[in-house]
């Protein structure tokens, strides 16, 4: 039997990880401000944020938050979110064995004529982006997909005349029949 302190020294990771949190809350005024206040008041960053009502009858909304932090900070975020009064459930979708389904929507405006215009249309087709507005001088593409796919498309469009981009936050659901 080893003698010494009853306390053990736990190695704490300082490597930041990106996690997707699904937070079910009451759909009432001020709830989003309270959740965001928890992050900003403690200096935590939010990489992506989406909010939508998921059950009109029960007045429940889902807040999907993508954040990057060290494991101890992520645990603290989950704990503090769970203690807020209007919060029903906090699920870290990144901790399940099977990766969650994550998608984002982007509107991408590209201006160009001639060969650049043809190339932008060809690439949009390859990325399954849809033309939702077009004039003789520009296109607006609508694209849904994983964050990295959208970022890759935006990068490719830059030399072809990228004008502006508007993106939603990430929406995510756990795979399988379980509800979170």
pLDDT in tens, the chain (180 residues): 455 555 666 666 678 889 999 999 999 999 999 999 988 888 888 999 999 999 888 999 999 999 998 888 898 999 999 998 899 999 999 888 788 899 999 999 999 889 999 999 999 999 999 999 999 999 999 999 999 999 999 999 999 999 999 999 999 998 887 776
C-beta separation of 157 from 123 below 8 A: yes
Of 176, 152, 38, 1, nearest to 99 (Cα)?
176
- Asked if the 17-95 domain carries CATH number 3.30.70.260, the reply is yes
What architecture is the 101-172 domain classified under in CATH? 2-Layer Sandwich (3.30)
Residue 55: predicted pLDDT: 86
pTM: 0.80
**Angle ∠(170,16,91) on CA atoms, nearest 5:** 45
Q: Rounding to the nearest 10 degrees, give the CA dihedral for residues 180, 22, 152, 167.
A: 120
The CATH 3.30.70.1150 domain(s) of the chain lie at 101-172
Q: For the chain, what is the radius of gyration of the CA atoms?
A: 21
Residue 5: predicted pLDDT: 57
The CATH 3.30.70.260 domain(s) of the chain lie at 17-95
């Amino acid at each position: 039997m080893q003698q010494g302190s009853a306390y053990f020294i736990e190695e704490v990771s300082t490597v930041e990880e990106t996690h997707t949190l699904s937070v079910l809350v009451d759909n009432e005024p001020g709830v989003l401000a309270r959740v965001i206040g928890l992050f900003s008041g403690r200096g935590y960053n939010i990489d992506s944020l989406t909010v939508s009502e998921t059950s009109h009858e029960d007045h429940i909304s889902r807040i999907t938050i993508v954040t990057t932090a060290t494991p101890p900070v992520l645990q603290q975020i989950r704990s503090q979110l769970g203690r807020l009064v209007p919060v029903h459930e906090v699920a870290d979708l990144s901790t399940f064995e099977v990766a969650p389904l994550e998608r984002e929507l982007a509107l991408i405006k590209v201006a160009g004529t001639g060969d650049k215009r043809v190339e932008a249309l060809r690439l949009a087709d390859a990325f399954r982006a849809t033309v939702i507005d077009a004039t003789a001088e520009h296109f607006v593409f609508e694209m849904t997909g994983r964050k990295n796919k959208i970022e890759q498309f935006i990068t490719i469009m830059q030399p072809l005349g990228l004008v502006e981009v508007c993106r939603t936050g990430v929406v995510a659901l756990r795979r399988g029949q379980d509800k979170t």
